[in-house]
Amino acid sequence: MKNRKLEKTPITIILSLMILFGVFTATSNNAYAQSKDINDVKAIQKIITIQRNKGAKVSAKLDNKKQYKWSKKTGRLREINWYKKGLKGKINFNKLIELRYINVKRNNLKNIDINKLKNLDVLMCQKIT
């Protein structure tokens, strides 16, 4: 009788650890999703709305890792990749002060406002001809 109880103990421990790991993983993903800087979220959503109204195919899903990179430490938007997305007219990124990388190549932009982006390292832009 004792041997049977001892045999079940490791299985119980393993199952408990698996459940705890699953709960931790699920909550840590949600914590990251909620940690985006609210000012950056509002600013990028405004730009997205304006550009989508002009026909651009930019993602409204801010967790889209192909188009947006967020700082895990600060929650600030660090990179935007809108290559060949149908952007038109003027675009102002100045409220996204932590941007380091912007790719807006192969679009029809007339003006890109970035004069307040002190940390910007890379701006890739090329008009469609």
pLDDT in tens, 104-114: 999 999 999 99
CB atoms within 10 A of CB 98: 18
Residue 13 and residue 42 share a domain: no
Counting the structural domains of the chain, the total is 2
Instruction: Provide the pLDDT for residue 21.
Output: 73
Instruction: Provide the pLDDT for residue 30.
Output: 45
Instruction: Give me the chain's average pLDDT, please.
Output: 88
The helix/strand/coil state of 113 is strand
pTM: 0.73
Does residue 100 contact residue 119 with C-beta atoms inside 8 Å?
Answer: yes
Residue 50 and residue 26 share a domain: no
Q: Which residues pair with 122 in a beta bridge?
A: 101
Which tokens sit at 109?
Answer: 């932009």
Residue 76 and residue 49 share a domain: yes
Which is higher by pLDDT, 47 or 19? 47
* Lowest mean per-residue pLDDT among 3-12, 13-22, 93-102, 116-125: 3-12
